[in-house]
Amino acid sequence: MMATIVRHDGMEMPLDTFIDAYRMVRVDSYRLPSIDGGARLVAVDACGRVADGVYANSLDWHGVVAFRLLDGIAEAEPCFDCGTSTDESDVCESCADMDAWYS
């Protein structure tokens, strides 16, 4: 099986390398991120297509495998569960409430 190649900014690299090189957050398709719709970001899908500088509410999140918020735009609440943070200690109120509900 061939690796998916991403072509972006005049470079070509495998999908996993692209995600790591751009320090993107991987998206869990069963728990989509909760991001303000007006936030701009860079996203990549499983076919290696890059959406650069798009608004979060304009994406089909079910096809996105990874994303990165653009510099200068801070999300309201980073969260490990939503996939908007890689820090395990970051949990937004919504996910904390959901975890409390299921406990």
pLDDT-derived band at 100, boundaries 50, 70, 90: low
Q: What is the mean pLDDT of the chain?
A: 80
- Residue-level pLDDT at 54: 92
User: In the predicted model, is pLDDT for residue 73 greater than 60?
Assistant: no
Domain range summary for the chain, segments of one domain joined by +: 5-102
Tens of pLDDT, residues 27-41: 988 888 877 778 889
User: In the predicted model, is pLDDT for residue 97 greater than 80?
Assistant: no
DSSP characters over the chain: -PPPEEEETTEEEEHHHHHHHTTPEEPBTTB-----TT-EEEEEETT--EEEEEEGGGS-TTTEEEEEEPTT---SS--TTTTS-S-TT---HHHHHHHHHH-
Mean pLDDT on 1-14:
85
